[in-house]
Amino acid sequence: MTAIEQDAARTARILRMPTADDDKYSRGVVGLRTGSADYPGAAVLGVSAAWHAGCGMVRYVGPARAADMVLAHRPETVTASGRVQAWVIGSGTDATSRDPSETEALRDVLAGGDPVVVDAGALDLVPDATAPMILTPHAREFARLREALGLASMGEREAEALQTARETGAVVLLKGAVTLVADPGGGLRRIRSGVPWLATAGTGDVLAGALGAVVAGAVAAGDPSPERLADAAAAAAWLHGRAGALAAARWGGRGGPITASDVADHLPRAVGETLAAQR
């Protein structure tokens, strides 16, 4: 198996520099149905990351408490339903406490034609979904997903990521010290741009939001193919790692503690530096 090592040059090819002809729709619109009464901060983190990763509009359609917090932190966010080019669902939610109406709403998203970033509390709905998907589990969530799919342990992360992508028809972004992105066609990408300081609460919510923005931009550019979605996933993961490294580097040569909000706040610099270096 030959894996691609994600780098700044590959990431820059996915990002879109706005032009004078762009508007908010042509730059990509991402919708987030994330957060919950117990974890409203996940919605704020994901929405902030989506804005900072460079999309043209962010719609948030989650619960009222989370929506209020989103608007308090990011008043430019639209909290009304409407057109989107990609979705992010599941961040900051728990499948065991999800009510039937929310389950039905998520199933509707997963039955549509727009690409969906499926995180955390929505991963249980993957087996019945038909939409184009990018799955973003950490190790424990990945093990539960494979069990639900009836897939036995293979004892090897890369092989398991590829098998899960084939079985689900989805792009699989398996988070870890080395993040893997596997696509249904057998492609594999490794992302090593992160730092250990990223192992802190909420950074997965930031990754999901950034990924939704990058995917929306790719769809707006006219290429929603599985390979392009996998490239977008790898680019978003690389930017997330780079933003974490930039945030940690403020505290010296070995870095220092960061929060998920710090990572979101450093995404614009990560995007800008990546694009500028490729000119």
pLDDT tens column, 232-270? 999 999 999 999 999 999 999 999 999 999 999 999 999
Pairing of strands 57-60, 116-118: unpaired
Q: Give kind and range of the element (H or E) at residue 31.
A: strand 29-33
Q: Which residues contact 97 (CB under 8 A, 6 or more apart)?
A: 36, 38
How far is residue 88 from each of residues 13, 35, 46, 207, 215, measured CA to CA in Å?
A: 22, 11, 9, 10, 10
**Rounded distance, CA 189 to CA 3, Å?**
5
- Per-residue pLDDT tens digits for 128-182: 999 999 999 999 999 999 999 999 999 999 999 999 999 999 999 999 999 999 9
Residue 17 belongs to a domain with what CATH number? 3.40.1190.20
Amino acid at 214: V
Residue 205 near residue 89, CB atoms below 8 Å: no
Q: How far apart are CA 262 and CA 259, in angstroms?
A: 5
Full residue range of the structural domain in which residue 209 is found: 4-277
pLDDT of residue 43: 98
Q: Which two tokens stand for residue 150?
A: 């009836």
pTM given for the model: 0.97
* H-state helical runs in the chain: 8-14, 41-52, 64-73, 100-110, 139-148, 157-168, 203-220, 226-249, 260-277
Total domains in the chain come to 1
User: Rounded to an integer, what distance in angstroms lies between the CA atom of residue 114 and that of residue 96?
Assistant: 26
Computed from CA positions of residues 179, 133, 230, 150, in that sequence, does the dihedral angle turn out positive or negative? positive
